[in-house]
Amino acid sequence: MEQDRSTVHRGGAVRLLPLAFVVVIAAFVLGNLLALLSARRIQAANRRISQNAMVSIVDVSRIVHDIDLVRLFIAAHIFETTTAQMAPLERNIAQAEADLDGAARDYDRLAIFPGEQQVWGNLQELMDGVRQPIRDVLELSRTNQDVEARKAFATIEKRFGDINQQAELLLKLNRDEAARTVDEIQNLQRRSLLFLAVITAIGTVLGLFVTVSVTRIRKRRDQELAEAALLLEARNRELDAFAGRVAHDLRGPLTVINLSALKLSQAKPEEDSALAVLRRGIEGWTD
């Protein structure tokens, strides 16, 4: 009975092995798929942040460049004395201010990093604060009031310095964010590779475990089948021996009965037909 229960248990285990294979393969595929989707999603987000930082750096560099151009053109405007000489410089100043406004509009929608809005707000206030003083300096320069124009220009030089300082803060903030994003992407790649390696190792171990289990169960079943065949052969031999012994034990009494039937047939011929049937039955047993 205990052997039968063990056999039934192993049979159930064998039937569950295909399901175990399916579960292992499904878990392995699902784990790799989730890791791949997660990695792609995070990489896409980090890529957007990195691109944002790069574009922001370009826009801030444009702003700094335009501010420097305005300063140079104003200094050159004060140096000139005629309207013909001043007109091209004023057009250059207007063009630099227009590009500055465009860079500011482009940058305004990109200021999303922590602390960036505050620095960007300070920079906008500083840029708006120098617009009217610049017009005043240009107005003095047009009338060749160069001394007063230089004095007025000197008063706004500190504001230009503050603008450059705030712009440098924005550049540093975006560079740091871009570097942090690159580090995060690299860390993500390392974590993804580690996760895939762990999933692969677990899948390999489970696969080996199932394979070893299948091999052991099959070996036990083959051994049990061999033992059952040997046992059946032994029992067949025992049955043959038992049948031989029974036939040998019955042969003596049946021979006596056969002889007795023969004598009765000779003594009573009228009963010969019935005795003949008896003798044929006895001969069938003794053959």
Closest-CA residue to 171 (of 257, 65, 275)? 65
Instruction: Please enumerate in sequence order all residues whose Cβ is within 8 A of that of 161, keeping only pairs 6 or more positions apart, or say none.
Output: none
What is the distance between the alpha carbons of residues 59 and 236, in angstroms, rounded to a whole number? 97
Can you spell out the DSSP letters for 115-178?
THHHHHHHHHHHHHHHHHHHHHHHHHHHTT-HHHHHHHHHHHHHHHHHHHHHHHHHHHHHHHHH
- Token reading at 133: 């003083």
Model pLDDT for residues 93-126, shown as the tens digit of each residue = 999 989 988 888 887 777 777 777 888 888 889 8
Helices 2-79 and 146-267: angle between axes, nearest 10 degrees: 170
What is the phi/psi pair of residue 57, to 5°?
-60, -40
Q: What is the tens place of the pLDDT at every residue in 221-237?
A: 888 888 888 888 888 88
Q: Return the pLDDT at 8.
A: 44
Which pLDDT score, from 0 to 100, does residue 1 have?
A: 46
Buried b (16+ CB within 10 A) or exposed e, 237-276: eeeeeeeeeeeeeeeeebeebbeebeebbeeeeeeeeebe
What residues in the chain have per-residue pLDDT under 50? Answer: 1-5, 8-9, 13
How many CB atoms lie under 10 A from the CB of residue 184?
Answer: 16
